[in-house]
Amino acid sequence: MYNENLTFENLPSAISQMINKLEAIEASIASIQQQQCPSVIDTEPYIYGIDGLAKFLHVSTVTAQSIKNSGKIPYSQIQRTIIFDKHKVLEALSINKSKGGKKL
């Protein structure tokens, strides 16, 4: 259909082909995102403790503790357990990065 002149008669077919290709592209993008960020897609929305934050961000526990102490990311604490919301952590870090903060 690329070499044909687009006419009113073949417009439905052309649109159908475009929709099919768009759906294939969306499926490819979703697959790539899942491969690159599997920890964000998992079913557990929370991170528990500094060790969990370090694993989630792929940094050392010292760096994770520094990030928490800097106030850049929100967290809650119940008794001695520190709890981070994964989506809020990613959002806070992306906001800090866009303001000129250091990349992790």
Which residue, chain included where needed, has tokens 């303001």? Answer: 99
What counts of helices (H) and strands (E) characterise the chain?
5, 3
One domain, residues 76 and 49: yes
pTM (2 decimals)?
A: 0.53
Judge whether residue 83 has pLDDT over 90: yes
**Within a domain: residue 65?**
yes
The pLDDT value recorded for residue 41 is 53
The pLDDT value recorded for residue 77 is 93
Cβ pair 90, 40 in contact under 8 A: yes
Local structure of 95: helix, strand or coil: helix
One domain, residues 47 and 32: no
- Distance CA(33)–CA(43), nearest Å, equals 16
The pLDDT value recorded for residue 80 is 92
**Within a domain: residue 53?**
yes
Judge whether residue 24 has pLDDT over 70: yes
Question: CA nearest 70: which of 78, 80, 57, 29?
Answer: 57
Range of the domain at 83: 42-98
